[in-house]
Amino acid sequence: MSSFLAQAFVSALVLSPITQALGVAKTCSNPQLSCQNTTVVSDLCCFNAPGGQLLQTQFWDTDPVTGPSDSWTIHGLWPDHCDGTYDSNCDSARAYTNITSILEGFGKTDLLSYMNTYWKDYQGNDESFWEHEWAKHGTCISTFDTNCYTGYTPTQEVPDFFQKTVDLFKTLPSYTWLSDAGIVPSSTATYTSAAILAALKAGFGYDVIISCSSSALDEIWYSYNVRGSIQTGTFVPTNPDGSKSSCPSTGIKYLPKTGATATATSTGTATKTTTTATSTSTGSFSGKGYLNAVTSGSTTGCLISAGTWYTSGTCATYTATTSGSGFTLTSSKGNCGISGSSFTCASGVTATVFTASGGYLAYDGSTAFYASAVPSGTTQEQVSTSSGSVEVQFSWQSI
């Protein structure tokens, strides 16, 4: 090393104590698609083998609840063989027990904060769950071998694994795909396996695998082949290979995440994602209808004409009118709008443009509204867009 380079190297270390110097993932020219090769491919830094079928797996945890009430959470990224079998725990020397520290060491604080919301352990120990996923599955991904990096920096494949998994997860909005087909969490409704699979296929483009526990939907697996390495290659969606869905054909429950907060209020990043995904939508909100209140998957009263929530009277008739990228609402009292974070309908109120997301009324991308309590008797509750002790969503009932 010339003394200039040595000096630059030393000062890089001194000046950036947080972000470590990084090796570079091998460049792959003209890589082949994993599981689709017709001859032996020798460079396993540019071709995932034997784990060439990559599964982005997701959880729906309701007991105990993990993650936002309107989002699935990440299980992992698994390198299956091309026939559904798989290897596990492939390199005990890289079964790291400090995933959080490693990610922090590489300056991946945004990634960590996203994982803290969306990559959840049902027992509450996210770090140990991440360690398990990395050691069991991540170490079996051939393109993460340490010799696949030029100038390998110890543990640098770890941020690559977690970042890629999160990036894929962000392109797989299971909750929205299901709700677009009318499949929404409910403590009473049941769905068919065919309807769930069709809704997910409509979103993903290929068949997926679902699994159930006690007839309740709790997992989705999306399959990919990869052209090139995990680090720099292209993920190509594909049909499952091997494993089969484990849900009954009918009577499947999709239970609500009771007590959880909706995505949009969890983190700034999540709000942005939700807004982008739902910013041009009127859904079924058109013409005249009632705004029914839904808490924990059940309808509990509705809004009356001033925009307050009531459970023991006649619902007000609202008129939804397309406006911009969404719609406005009016009641007999006047325009409805969010005024100082309260949902209010009165003369002189500036009409807010709402959107629909998953069949629910959305404000600023979020379907979560709040009140200080579920109303009972003759009490009316004010509905707010900021926090309150009860979360409520509103569905449209055309009349």
Residue ranges that bind ligand NAG, judged by CB under 6 A: 37-41, 49, 96, 98, 101-102, 105, 154-155
The residue among 75 and 137 lying less far from ligand NAG, judged by its C-beta, is 137
Please identify, using beta-carbon distances, which residue of 51 and 256 lies nearer to ligand NAG.
Answer: 51
Exposure b/e, 281-296, CB count within 10 A at least 16 = b: bbbebeeebbbbbbbb
Strands (E), the chain: 24-25, 53-59, 73-80, 149-150, 209-213, 216-227, 234-238, 287-295, 298-303, 309-310, 318-323, 326-331, 334-339, 342-346, 355-357, 360-362, 369-371, 390-398
Quote the least distance from Cβ 81 to ligand NAG, whole Å: 10
Q: How far is the CB of 165 from ligand NAG (least distance, A)?
A: 19
Give whichever of 37 and 319 is closer to ligand NAG, judged by the CB atom: 37
- The whole-angstrom separation of Cα 222 and Cα 239 is 8
Q: Minimum distance between the CB of residue 10 and ligand NAG, rounded to whole angstroms? A: 19
Nearest residue to ligand NAG, by Cβ distance, number only: 105
- Please, what is the minimum distance in Å from the beta carbon of residue 368 to ligand NAG? 36
Residues 22 and 153: beta-carbon distance below 8 Å: yes
Which residue lies nearer to ligand NAG by CB, 105 or 358? 105
Asked if residue 50 has a cis previous peptide bond (ω within 30° of 0), the answer is yes
Q: Give 153 or 232: the residue with its C-beta nearer to ligand NAG.
A: 153
Backbone dihedral angles phi then psi of residue 110, each to the nearest 5 degrees: -65, -40
Cα 349 from chain centroid (whole Å): 35
- Active site (catalytic) residues: 75, 133, 137
Least Å distance between CB 113 and ligand NAG?
17
CA neighbor of 231 nearest in space, from 19, 30, 25, 21? 25
Say if residues 196 and 183 touch (Cβ distance below 8 Å). Answer: yes
Burial class (CB in 10 A: 0-12, 13-18, 19+), 133: buried
Cβ atoms of residues 119 and 129 within 8 Å: yes
Least separation in angstroms between CB 135 and ligand NAG: 11
> Which CB atom, from 1 or from 40, has the smaller least distance to ligand NAG?
40
Q: Are 68 and 167 in contact (CB under 8 A)?
A: no
The residue with tokens 């008797």 is 377
Residue type, 74: I
Q: How far is the CB of 158 from ligand NAG (least distance, A)?
A: 9
CB atoms within 10 A of CB 275: 16
Burial class (CB in 10 A: 0-12, 13-18, 19+), 268: exposed
Which is closer to ligand NAG, CB of 144 or CB of 254? 144
Amino acid occupying residue 150: T
